Structure 1
Amino acid sequence: MPPLRSQIQPGVTVDIVQKQDQPTGRLTRGVVAALLTRSPSHPHGIKVRLTSGEVGRVQAVISAQPNA
């Protein structure tokens, strides 16, 4: 099950799956810039925008500590 919204915050390193990568499941790693999903959970993962500008659904939290 993908992480809950409460486990994700700006500055945290995560693996996301972008819309175009959903059929293959290819993951993209990056740092969260903003949370786009308002609900506490989502069956496919919380949607976020990375600092690189990429948007996708979080599949795993890599570093739970925000990068200082």
Structure 2
Amino acid sequence: MSENDGTKRTNIEPGKTVDVVQKADQRSGKTTRGTVQQLLTKAPTHPHGIKVRLTDGTVGRVKQVIEE
């Protein structure tokens, strides 16, 4: 597991750029890039990725944290 892994809550904070998979895209694995507005998963880790809301309102699970 790397630093930019989306399964740990400690790697993600509001303002970070991330790639998320939306519920509708889970089968295809299509990712959407955006900026984290809010963390929705309360647990410290989640096997499928921490659920977040992006600034544009998109909700999805973080697949990767993008390092600027």
Taking structure 2 as the reference length, the TM-score comes to: 0.89
The answer to whether structure 1 residue 57 and structure 2 residue 61 are counterparts is yes
Deviations 1:3-34 (A, max 9, x none): 21000000000000000000000000000000
Indicate the residue corresponding to 1:41 in structure 2.
45
Give structure 1 regions of 4+ aligned residues with deviation exceeding 2 angstroms. none
- Mapped partners of 1:15, 1:38: distance in 2: 19
Q: Which runs of 5+ in 1 are unaligned?
A: none
| TM-score normalized by the length of structure 1 | 0.89
Give the superposed CA RMSD. Answer: 1.2
Residue 37 of structure 2 aligns with an amino acid whose one-letter code is A
Structure 2 counterpart of 1:30: 34
SS of the aligned residue for 1:9 comes to coil
1:17 aligns with 2:21: yes
Unaligned runs of 5+ in 2: none
